[in-house]
Structure 1
Amino acid sequence: MNRFNVRKVAVLGAGVMGAQIAAHLVNVKVPVVLFDLPAKEGPKNGIGLKAIEGLKKLKPSPIGVAGDLALIQLANYDEHLHLLAGCDLVIEAIAERLDWKLDLYTKVAPHLAPGAIVASNTSGLSITKLSEVLPEALRPRFCGIHFFNPPRYMQLVELIPTAATQPQILDDLETFVTRSLGKGVVRAKDTPNFVANRVGIAGMLGTIAEAAKAGLGYDVVDDLTGKKLGRASSGTFRTADVVGIDTLAHVVKTMQDNLQADPFYASYATPDAVAKLIAAGALGQKTGAGFYKKVGKDILQFSAATGEYVKAGGKADALIDRILKKPAPERLKLLRESTNPQAQFLWAIQRNAFHYVAVHLADIAESAREVDLAMRWGFGMQQGPFELWQAAGWQQVATWVQEDIDAGKALSSAPLPAWVFDGRTGVHTAEGSWSAAQGRMVPRSSLPVYQRQHFPEALGGEGATPFIQSGTEVFKNDEIRLWTLDGSVLIASITSKMHLIGPGVIEGLLKAVELAEGQYDGLVLWSGDEPFSAGANLEAMLPTFMKLGAKGIAPEIQKLQDALLRLRYASVPTVAAMRGLALGGGCEIAVHCAKRVAHLETYVGLVEVGVGLIPGGGGLTYIARRAAENAAAANSTDLLAFLKDGFQAAATAKVGTSALESRQLGYLLADDVVVAHKDELLFTAIAQAKAMAASNWRAPLKAQFPVAGRSAIATIQAQLVGMRDGGFISAHDFHIASLIADVVCGGAVEAGSMVTEEYLMALERKHFCSLLEHPKSQERIMGLLQTGKPVRN
């Protein structure tokens, strides 16, 4: 079998999207040649240089660690076209001008490698038209590849073939984009704006029209169409500001120019507010003003009537809040029957969405699955439109929608297709999803890459068994479930809210090690969805603390420490499969495992200082031990030099903003594995555990190690005094940081003294419990529990 091997990628165009696509490629260690026009002044690669500098300033950051930007090689079309010969994939990402793209293709075509795949990152132009300028031999290797912005964080990538695209090319590209880039691939038909933007922008235009009809402000609409409706928290108008008003207008223009025969064509008119904002240069977040503008601490919203910005802050009515918490069948019925303008608005935009996707399904996508996944991954919806329709009662909702169409309330008079009323209960089943074009259910892709996903993201109606009910269960309590998929590796899944660590988790971890050592080749800690663990359950400690004080907490802390040492010294490999937050105790669990497999978007740190405490589950002991190991590896006796970064990370609650940065902080090691796709995490962790067992892996031997001692404590405290006296930290911050220094340096001992992990953990317990009784720490703990926000005191 020939395997498509992407050794290097060329990105043509160093604009906003091109530069960020390049950044995400190097996040997963794929080298990039980033092309643009030669600069008219200064260095010829000046445009690319400016793009790289821009990447460093963007928030949220498109790059995992800034050092990886060195993997981007800058090039221009005058001097470096020969570099294309070394690229297996070429992604064109220049401005959305058909003539510019065609001119560029003519220029680069003679320099491409014989087997290279060429793809355009257009957001809506015809892929077929783009292919027409290419040499005949290149057309089978050409397709569309539409990343959503920002490419690092948005899961959706649409792949769009032409009639000439070889099926194997699409399969190879889908495999690379899924496995290596961690994306969710939707194959779209070559129609204007493809799937997500076609449905999403049509929905946005419909929302703007219905909001005007109901007399609702942008602020109220965004509150109604955000998380309360199971959509992205930015709602409608704030999303437009983030995307860019000019980008929105461009996508709308594509629809206007190419969809004259569309029965919804009248609804594609450019909204008056959009036209006025563009005329004023208010293009959204990138210009500081769009539908919204921040003035001082105030958020203002644009008034299309006056052209001025007015006060924002309107919210949904309490009645609507209550309705939106109801199950889907009851929720839609109540919205439709209510006379409340906000309820009528919400029914209207959902009715319009159902109507639109049903009418256009046959034209834009192979099946309803592609539509729903595109809206989940590209527009942040918890449910796609077909999923919601099916959950609410297919035939009843269909009847309501058709009644509104007949009454002239809908955006178009086009009737629902006949297949909607054929007696079905929905479009998603265990056998597949409905294809209006083929008139049958189409199963999920059978590409080998998807066999690596034990629990792929499932759509409502598919009947997929949740992971928490899968496999063979061997132990369960209120906070953890131990189970196995194939009988060879035990899996521990924390089930508490936010996967917080309480007594049940500690009990379960001890049980897991005991069972794994007796019956399995390894133990994997994987809890399915995010987070890995947000830390200790402070609220669960309160009753014990109120009854017995800190002395009652000390034994519970020791139980956690003992459990984590059991993980570290287990006779079978223990693997932490991490995704999302791994904070405090979650970080401590991970660092005590034999290996870590982390999704790229894993955020790791010891954050206890935020609640006025120090890490108590061995996190500081880990920092001290790793400093000793690293110093020994470097043949150095200067322990403080190897300790300072770990101390600073713990003392400032520094959290890695990616698995890559978490590795730089020392919470992941060089041989730990970073996985791009969230649904491959369990597969990879199990594979690592099996490989370690097969290679006769053995746990490390318990050993003493040197600590930096009292002299290092004094050095650190001298620096802390300067920060305290300069007003950079509070007196209580100074106190907590001093206790952290005491632990990581080994207490009041001579430099180089040999200690055990248990000795340092006893120091952790002592200081942790002393802080529990400190009034300032109690203020921080109660503040966090009551408001969810850290208290600075």
Structure 2
Amino acid sequence: MNRLQVKKTAVLGAGVMGAQIAAHLANAGVPVVLFDLPAREGDKNGIVRKAIDGLKKLEPAPIANKAALKLISAANYDEHLGELAGCDLIIEAIAERMDWKNELYGKIAPHLSPAAIVASNTSGLSIDALSQALPADVRPRFCGIHFFNPPRYMRLVEIIATRTTDAGTLDALETWLTSRLGKGVIRALDTPNFVANRIGVFSILAVMHHTQRFELGFDVVDALTGPKIGRPKSATYRTADVVGLDTLAHVVRTMHNTLPDDPWHAHFNAPAWLEQLIEKGALGQKTKGGIFRKVGKDIHVLDVGLQDYRPSTGELSADVAGILKDKNPASRFAALRASKDPQARFLWAIFRDVFHYAAVQLESVADNARDLDLAMRWGFGWAQGPFETWQSAGWADIARAIAADIAAGHTMSDAPLPAWVLDGRDGVHTPEGSWSPRRKAYVPRSELPVYQRQLFPEAVLGDGSRSPEQSGETLFENDGVRLWRLPAVDAGIGILSFKSKMHAIGSEVVEGVVAAVRQAEHSLAGLVIWHHPPFAVGANLAQVAEACAAGDFAKLDGYVAAFQQAGQTLKYAAVPVVAAVQGMALGGGCEFAMQATRRVLALESYMGLVEAGVGLIPAGGGCKEFALQAAEWAGRTATPAELMALLQPVFMNIATAKVSKSAAEAVDYGFARTTDTVLFHPDELLYVALREARALAESGYAPRASARAVPVAGRGGIATLEMTLVNMRDGGMISAYDYQVARAAAVALCGGEVDAGSLVDEAWLLAVERRLFVELLKNPQTQARIQHMLETGKPLRN
């Protein structure tokens, strides 16, 4: 297989999806030319420039940091088609009109390079039919490439071959999408709406059908179809509002028009109330009102019976709430089937009909059951795919129940279950592979080399995958950490994993870190800190609150000293320590990562020193590290003014508890270095971190020497930062106590109340931040903030 090298890309269409696809390509460091029609007036690139500018305002942010925007250039079809000759990948993302796409393909064809891959981001049009508008020599390099919205965050990309697409091209594209863009790639069949939308939109239609049948409110249904059953918080109707009611209706019409022989075709229609909302222009979130709308601070929901909105109050019935607390899927489904409660009957009905539909359509939409389940996880945010849910609840029992409901006329279609469903099997996922009706066999995972980089790929229920906790050889373990290794990968590099809830750093983790490093120094060549996200949410506040309540501040001082020592142990270990960061790395977690030898970060890493939120300052080495960074950046003969150029933005980040929105932004904020590695696929994190540690060890790693004679900003720097705080306090942006906490951070960052330009060592800087931290802990206002955070999970402003 030839390796795909994408040095430059083009995206055709600067609408919502096109612009965000361009943004994610830019996040990956790939220059992209974003095309659209020429503007009728003024700058001909006006449409595209407006789209690029709009990327700065979207939340969640489609760009990983501001620098990515510089990689997107604006173009229009009248003036710039010649730029396509230098593009290795062209992604068409214009409106879902076959005639418009065909016309555009005719325009671009003369300008394509002989090796360029051309792909359509259509969400449901026939890829084979689209290919006919391209010259014969381009067709082997044409396929579908269906991103899900928002492209940066949604893992799923469906790639769809035509009858003439070159197999090697697909393999190379899948490899590139997986590793470079961090995507979960599913090879979809060329059928309307492909895999995820076909099953997902049917699921929405089933929910709508049974909402009416059981006379439930939209708010009640969202309470039922969200996290309680493993679906996103936006559930069903809020998801429809976010997607856009007009967009949803368009996808439903596509199913209606292109699937006339589907046994469920009678249900492929938008309900009357949905069409009425669309006619009124109430399209959901983009028009600030749809099924739900905000009235003042309250959320109101459409009531079809009232033909008006009412306050949203949806709640689960006591019966259903009790059933859903049952951890056993088999007994939970049995209870739903047996219950007379309308909410319970509704839940069984929506699960049953999706199971039924997925089983009947599997052969025509996907290669195997694993692809369908992963598509629903990655494209719709389900915790489990429909086949996983079915298998966990007892395949045979559920199959018999569905068959009985089909016979009784309770299902949305009378289509019989496929014979393979009732052949005595226990499920569709096995260690051998996942069932493929098309092949009449269990299909193993892809053997593309890129997947060898995923040491613990996302498992599906029943596939026999071992979790990290069940894998490898344990070298050391206590209540807080496990030190282990994977001999088949690299027996000389240890893996340090935290075991605490949310990987909070309590005394047992601190002790474990030091013990693990000491063992690694004795018997290993390097160490990687890795576990499934979050990386670490900071110090164990419960332990801190307990000591505060007891007034045992000497114990707390000792705890902070031990925490600092653990950070120093990581920093000055005799072997390289690589922090593999994904998800939240907050407070002490951020400090541990900062003090590692090197960091390998997943793009979606959210790092920050957030102690101000609980009335504290970073004291696990965070302030010390930034003081050292400032001196390193400015040089050993730095003036206080030069030091402040770095310390001022750092101080504001700490004072406001700012958290990076990506790994790229973490580098900008100084929580990581430009020499660190940023990965787009989180499942590659451990593989690359182990390689990084091995490379450091093999290159003659020598531990760093402790910093001495470090110039600090001192009193002059503190005074400069205080001026900012005075303005913020007097402007009502911070409270008087926020001021006090932030001033303590200023003192720590500036090296204490010493003369500007004084030379200090690392031990001094640690002592300053520890003293200030413990002083703040003695304050009742900080104690109140800690208690409030423990009770509510939210910061208290006092």
TM interval, short-chain normalised: over 0.9
Task: Give, as a single letter, the amino acid of the residue that structure 1 aligns with 2:210.
Answer: E
Higher mean C-alpha displacement, 639-648 vs 168-177: 639-648
Name the SS for the 2:4 alignment partner: coil
Give the deviation of 1:702 after TM superposition: 1.4
Other-structure match for 1:741: 746
Q: Tell me how far apart the structure 2 counterparts of residues 774 and 547 of structure 1 sit (CA, whole Å).
A: 14
Per-residue CA deviation, residues 241-273 of structure 1 (Å, 9 max, x unaligned), is 111111101110110001110111111122112
Unaligned runs of 5+ in 2: none
Task: Give, as a single letter, the amino acid of the residue that structure 1 aligns with 2:393.
Answer: A
Other-structure match for 1:332: 333
Which of residues 727, 735, 739 in structure 1 aligns to 2:732?
727
Name the SS for the 1:57 alignment partner: coil
Question: Does structure 1 conserve the Cα–Cα contact (< 8 Å) formed by 2:12 and 2:34?
Answer: yes
Other-structure match for 1:98: 98
Alignment map for 1:59-458 (pairs within 5 Å): 59-326=59-326, 327-458=328-459
Give the deviation of 1:635 after TM superposition: 6.6
Q: Tell me how far apart the structure 1 counterparts of residues 426 and 229 of structure 2 sit (CA, whole Å).
A: 23
For these two proteins, the number of residue pairs brought into alignment is: 792
Task: Give, as a single letter, the amino acid of the residue that structure 1 aligns with 2:88.
Answer: D
Higher mean C-alpha displacement, 446-455 vs 644-653: 644-653
Other-structure match for 1:753: 758
* 1:663 to 2:675 alignment: no
Give the deviation of 1:367 after TM superposition: 0.1
Other-structure match for 1:517: 521
Per-residue CA deviation, residues 445-470 of structure 1 (Å, 9 max, x unaligned), is 00000000000000000010001111
Give the deviation of 1:311 after TM superposition: 1.8
Task: Give, as a single letter, the amino acid of the residue that structure 2 aligns with 1:55.
Answer: L
Give the deviation of 1:318 after TM superposition: 2.5
Q: Tell me how far apart the structure 2 counterparts of residues 490 and 4 of structure 1 sit (CA, whole Å).
A: 33
Task: Give, as a single letter, the amino acid of the residue that structure 2 aligns with 1:237.
Answer: Y
* 1:611 to 2:614 alignment: yes
* Cα distance change, pair 82–635 in 1 and its aligned pair in 2 (3 A): farther
Q: Tell me how far apart the structure 1 counterparts of residues 292 and 529 of structure 2 sit (CA, whole Å).
A: 44
Task: Give, as a single letter, the amino acid of the residue that structure 1 aligns with 2:603.
Answer: L
Q: Tell me how far apart the structure 2 counterparts of residues 172 and 302 of structure 1 sit (CA, whole Å).
A: 48
Give the deviation of 1:304 after TM superposition: 3.3
Give the deviation of 1:636 after TM superposition: 5.8
Task: Give, as a single letter, the amino acid of the residue that structure 1 aligns with 2:498.
Answer: I
Which of residues 566, 577, 580 in structure 1 aligns to 2:580?
577
Other-structure match for 1:651: 655
Name the SS for the 1:488 alignment partner: strand
Question: Does structure 2 conserve the Cα–Cα contact (< 8 Å) formed by 1:623 and 1:647?
Answer: no
Per-residue CA deviation, residues 170-197 of structure 1 (Å, 9 max, x unaligned), is 1111111100000101111000000000
Give the deviation of 1:503 after TM superposition: 1.1
Q: Tell me how far apart the structure 1 counterparts of residues 650 and 306 of structure 2 sit (CA, whole Å).
A: 56
* Cα distance change, pair 481–290 in 1 and its aligned pair in 2 (3 A): same
Task: Give, as a single letter, the amino acid of the residue that structure 1 aligns with 2:767.
Answer: A
Q: Tell me how far apart the structure 1 counterparts of residues 586 and 721 of structure 2 sit (CA, whole Å).
A: 24
Alignment map for 1:21-32 (pairs within 5 Å): 21-32=21-32
Give the deviation of 1:718 after TM superposition: 2.5
TM score, norm. by length of structure 2: 0.98
Question: Does structure 2 conserve the Cα–Cα contact (< 8 Å) formed by 1:272 and 1:304?
Answer: no
Give the deviation of 1:778 after TM superposition: 1.1
Name the SS for the 1:102 alignment partner: helix
Give the deviation of 1:101 after TM superposition: 0.4
Alignment map for 1:703-714 (pairs within 5 Å): 703-704=707-708, 705-714=710-719
Q: Tell me how far apart the structure 1 counterparts of residues 469 and 639 of structure 2 sit (CA, whole Å).
A: 48
Other-structure match for 1:526: 530
Per-residue CA deviation, residues 587-640 of structure 1 (Å, 9 max, x unaligned), is 000000011111001000000010011112011111111111111189765212
Give the deviation of 1:476 after TM superposition: 1.1
Q: Tell me how far apart the structure 1 counterparts of residues 428 and 287 of structure 2 sit (CA, whole Å).
A: 42
Q: Tell me how far apart the structure 2 counterparts of residues 670 and 361 of structure 1 sit (CA, whole Å).
A: 46
Other-structure match for 1:34: 34
Give the deviation of 1:228 after TM superposition: 0.2
Other-structure match for 1:474: 475
Q: Tell me how far apart the structure 2 counterparts of residues 85 and 764 of structure 1 sit (CA, whole Å).
A: 57
Q: Tell me how far apart the structure 1 counterparts of residues 703 and 39 of structure 2 sit (CA, whole Å).
A: 57
* Cα distance change, pair 123–634 in 1 and its aligned pair in 2 (3 A): farther
Give the deviation of 1:474 after TM superposition: 0.6
Question: Does structure 2 conserve the Cα–Cα contact (< 8 Å) formed by 1:18 and 1:93?
Answer: yes
Other-structure match for 1:539: 542
Q: Tell me how far apart the structure 1 counterparts of residues 301 and 368 of structure 2 sit (CA, whole Å).
A: 39
Name the SS for the 1:135 alignment partner: coil
Other-structure match for 2:627: 624
Which of residues 764, 769, 783 in structure 1 aligns to 2:774?
769
Q: Tell me how far apart the structure 2 counterparts of residues 305 and 340 of structure 1 sit (CA, whole Å).
A: 21
Q: Tell me how far apart the structure 2 counterparts of residues 171 and 2 of structure 1 sit (CA, whole Å).
A: 9
Question: Does structure 2 conserve the Cα–Cα contact (< 8 Å) formed by 1:597 and 1:674?
Answer: yes
Task: Give, as a single letter, the amino acid of the residue that structure 1 aligns with 2:476.
Answer: F
Name the SS for the 1:680 alignment partner: helix
Other-structure match for 2:554: 551
Q: Tell me how far apart the structure 1 counterparts of residues 758 and 704 of structure 2 sit (CA, whole Å).
A: 21
Task: Give, as a single letter, the amino acid of the residue that structure 2 aligns with 1:265.
Answer: H
Question: Does structure 1 conserve the Cα–Cα contact (< 8 Å) formed by 2:283 and 2:290?
Answer: yes
Question: Does structure 2 conserve the Cα–Cα contact (< 8 Å) formed by 1:545 and 1:552?
Answer: no
Task: Give, as a single letter, the amino acid of the residue that structure 2 aligns with 1:160.
Answer: I
* Cα distance change, pair 440–739 in 1 and its aligned pair in 2 (3 A): same
Question: Does structure 1 conserve the Cα–Cα contact (< 8 Å) formed by 2:222 and 2:314?
Answer: no
Give the deviation of 1:541 after TM superposition: 2.7
Q: Tell me how far apart the structure 2 counterparts of residues 223 and 404 of structure 1 sit (CA, whole Å).
A: 25
Give the deviation of 1:719 after TM superposition: 2.5
Name the SS for the 2:417 alignment partner: coil
Name the SS for the 2:394 alignment partner: helix
Question: Does structure 1 conserve the Cα–Cα contact (< 8 Å) formed by 2:638 and 2:711?
Answer: no
Q: Tell me how far apart the structure 1 counterparts of residues 191 and 309 of structure 2 sit (CA, whole Å).
A: 37
Name the SS for the 2:430 alignment partner: coil
Question: Does structure 2 conserve the Cα–Cα contact (< 8 Å) formed by 1:550 and 1:770?
Answer: no
* Cα distance change, pair 634–676 in 1 and its aligned pair in 2 (3 A): farther
Name the SS for the 2:83 alignment partner: helix
* Cα distance change, pair 404–634 in 1 and its aligned pair in 2 (3 A): farther
Task: Give, as a single letter, the amino acid of the residue that structure 1 aligns with 2:388.
Answer: E
Give the deviation of 1:67 after TM superposition: 2.4
Task: Give, as a single letter, the amino acid of the residue that structure 1 aligns with 2:572.
Answer: Y
Give the deviation of 1:484 after TM superposition: 0.5
Q: Tell me how far apart the structure 2 counterparts of residues 16 and 282 of structure 1 sit (CA, whole Å).
A: 19
Q: Tell me how far apart the structure 2 counterparts of residues 718 and 151 of structure 1 sit (CA, whole Å).
A: 42
Q: Tell me how far apart the structure 2 counterparts of residues 358 and 222 of structure 1 sit (CA, whole Å).
A: 25
Question: Does structure 1 conserve the Cα–Cα contact (< 8 Å) formed by 2:545 and 2:787?
Answer: no
Per-residue CA deviation, residues 511-535 of structure 1 (Å, 9 max, x unaligned), is 12111111112110001x2100000
Q: Tell me how far apart the structure 1 counterparts of residues 301 and 547 of structure 2 sit (CA, whole Å).
A: 50
Task: Give, as a single letter, the amino acid of the residue that structure 2 aligns with 1:183.
Answer: K
Give the deviation of 1:306 after TM superposition: 4.8
Task: Give, as a single letter, the amino acid of the residue that structure 1 aligns with 2:386.
Answer: P
Give the deviation of 1:379 after TM superposition: 0.8
Higher mean C-alpha displacement, 514-523 vs 731-740: 514-523
Task: Give, as a single letter, the amino acid of the residue that structure 1 aligns with 2:431.
Answer: A
* Cα distance change, pair 463–412 in 1 and its aligned pair in 2 (3 A): same
Q: Tell me how far apart the structure 1 counterparts of residues 236 and 503 of structure 2 sit (CA, whole Å).
A: 32
Task: Give, as a single letter, the amino acid of the residue that structure 2 aligns with 1:586.
Answer: G
